[in-house]
Structure 1
Amino acid sequence: MATYSLANERLRALEDIEREIGAILQNAGTVILELSKEKTNERLLDRQAAAFTASVQHVEAELSAQIRYLTQLPYGIANSNSGKK
């Protein structure tokens, strides 16, 4: 039962990463929209750039943690469910 709990936790973490990637794209869109204006709001651009950088760093760290976890699994365990539906 603990295996399913751990698997669910890993899936939730991946869902969180997916949501954060969506936020990153939305943030980038806001920056592009602001840059397309004749007069840009420098404060908004600075805030959005900082949020973008922080989010990208967070996603990178979380994905690295997921990859590290997967590389530590024994080969048989990592592939045992790959063909099942």
Structure 2
Amino acid sequence: MTAPMERIQVLDTIEKDIVTCLHSAGTALMELSKEKSSLKQAESQTHLFLKTLGQVESKLTEQINYLTQVSTGQPHEGSIYASQKVLQMAWHRLEHVRSRLNELEKNKHRIQTRTVQRQQIPGHQDMNNQQVN
């Protein structure tokens, strides 16, 4: 396979990893937004998100380093607009994933605070049990 095709396949893999990140973040947010959320499930999805995000960042850094090497000190061999646009869009998706992660962290903290506050209210458990019965 030619080098440009390999580069495109790597970028395609990065894009799929970004989709995985977004899916994990969305699943974690959905879990945290439930009335009775499973922190274990949310943490599992958050861990997957962070792991995949690290891989995306590493792979994008490799791509940027490669583009930096081939774009300096060598004669122009054609337009790299398409590659730049793909990279720009990948960076945009990465920034979106980061903003979603921040949102997830805020929601997690808010839910944990609410849970702690509920546990500190005397008789709160008794009221819940009476409402269920």
Q: With structure 2 as the length reference, what TM-score do the two structures score?
A: 0.55
User: Alignment partner for residue 19 of structure 1, among 1, 8, 16?
Assistant: 16
Letter in 1 for 2:3: L
SS at structure 2 position matched to 1:80: coil
1:83 positional shift: 7.5
Question: What secondary structure does 1:73 align onto?
Answer: helix
Q: Which runs of 5+ in 2 are unaligned?
A: 82-133
Deviation per residue, 1:17-37 (Å, 9 max, x gap): 001101111111101111110
The answer for the alignment partner of 1:28 in structure 2 is 25
Q: 1:38 aligns with which of 35, 52, 55?
A: 35
The offset of 1:80, in angstroms, is 2.7
C-alpha separation between the residues in 2 aligned to 1:58 and 1:65? Answer: 11
Instruction: State the one-letter code of the partner of 2:24.
Output: N
Aligned partner of residue 53 in structure 2, secondary structure: helix
State the one-letter code of the partner of 1:54. K
> Identical aligned pairs, as a percentage?
35
What is the RMSD of the two structures over their aligned residues, measured on CA atoms?
2.2
Q: Decide which moves more: 41-50 or 61-70.
A: 41-50
Q: Which residue in 1 is equivalent to 2:59?
A: 62
Considering only CA atoms, is the larger Rg found in Structure 1 or Structure 2?
2
Letter in 2 for 1:20: D
What SS does the aligned partner of 2:2 have?
Answer: helix
* Match among 79, 84, 87 for residue 82 of structure 1: 79
The TM-score, its normalising length taken from structure 1, stands at 0.84
